[in-house]
Structure 1
């Protein structure tokens, strides 16, 4: 099983959006039993809260479920529990790296690193910008490309 953790600052806008979109894509590919998906924030302000209303609204618009997603904070134990730890921006990556030693098999990347032809390398925080539509487009592109990489990985491993 391949495991993916999406990380942003508070785990109420970008990373739960990525978790929901990625879950939807994985389900459409029939890979639910092969890919574990979660999200977390580097901060602790929103622990236990559902996604931001703007995130819920944009997901509802595109008929993507956010059921069961509640904010949590990333902890050092997560570093050894996931194959992919995906930050939304450079600060998220820095905060992830500060948690401790990251096992060599773990890929810590920004989501937009998977979209090679994108001029945008960070997913802006809609908590501050209000641009949930833009974030949805970026996250969808990043999640689609990430899934393609994981599908290739799964086919090479014969899982």
Structure 2
């Protein structure tokens, strides 16, 4: 196996999924991408986001999600909504649903034998006692702040999980 193929096969692939892929999952995508960059792990972790509904395919994140992320130093303006598909379970190691409704939809897409890849994202922040990242779409800016806070906590927990399970050699690296 050539060196680039070997490096590619060692990547851990993470997919964040919400309903329309314009609020919660792109926020998670951006926050987690920033944490990965800060730990100098971009060459070892691939990140994407998708939605269970095709309402916004091809669109950038909601302006309120972009504004909230920018206020916190994260630019998610480059992301575009796409639809989650059955093949994602073959491509990704983690398929992380933002809530139980989207988890159920993803469960129906999940091929037999790949169920262990599907999880609720908030499982990575068990101390918060929250199972779902609430959908802020129909609310005000405060909902986007709450989503960001939840996503940030779960992203830190996810990174720790990846460091323990998949990126052991990188876990000794200090964070920036």
TM exceeds 0.5?
yes
Instruction: Report SS of the residue matched to 1:37.
Output: strand
Q: TM-score, normalised by structure 1?
A: 0.94
- The CA distance in 2 between the partners of 1:49 and 1:155, in whole Å, is 33
- Residue in structure 2 matched with residue 87 of structure 1 by the alignment: 97
- Residue in structure 2 matched with residue 144 of structure 1 by the alignment: 156
Q: Confirm or deny that 1:135 pairs with 2:147.
A: yes
Residue 106 to residue 68, structure 1, CA distance change in 2 (3 Å): farther
Residue 153 to residue 61, structure 1, CA distance change in 2 (3 Å): same
Does the 8 A contact of 2:60 with 2:77 survive in 1? no
Q: Confirm or deny that 1:113 pairs with 2:129.
A: no
CA RMSD after TM alignment: 1.5
- The CA distance in 2 between the partners of 1:105 and 1:120, in whole Å, is 22
Which residues of structure 2 form unaligned runs of 5+? 1-10, 171-176
2:73 pairs with 63, 82, 85, which one? Answer: 63
Greater Cα radius of gyration, structure 1 or 2: 2
Residue 134 to residue 102, structure 1, CA distance change in 2 (3 Å): farther
| 1:101-159 Cα shifts (integer Å, max 9, x gaps) | 15448521111111111121100001023310111000000011001100111344x57
Does the 8 A contact of 2:64 with 2:144 survive in 1? yes
- The CA distance in 2 between the partners of 1:140 and 1:100, in whole Å, is 26
Instruction: Report SS of the residue matched to 2:166.
Output: helix
Moved more, 22-31 or 62-71: 62-71
Moved more, 94-103 or 13-22: 94-103
- Residue in structure 1 matched with residue 60 of structure 2 by the alignment: 50
Q: TM-score, normalised by structure 2?
A: 0.85
Alignment of 1:7-86 (within 5 A): 7-86=17-96
Which residues of structure 1 form unaligned runs of 5+? none
- Residue in structure 2 matched with residue 98 of structure 1 by the alignment: 108
- The CA distance in 2 between the partners of 1:88 and 1:14, in whole Å, is 7
Residue 104 to residue 45, structure 1, CA distance change in 2 (3 Å): closer
Instruction: Report SS of the residue matched to 2:13.
Output: strand
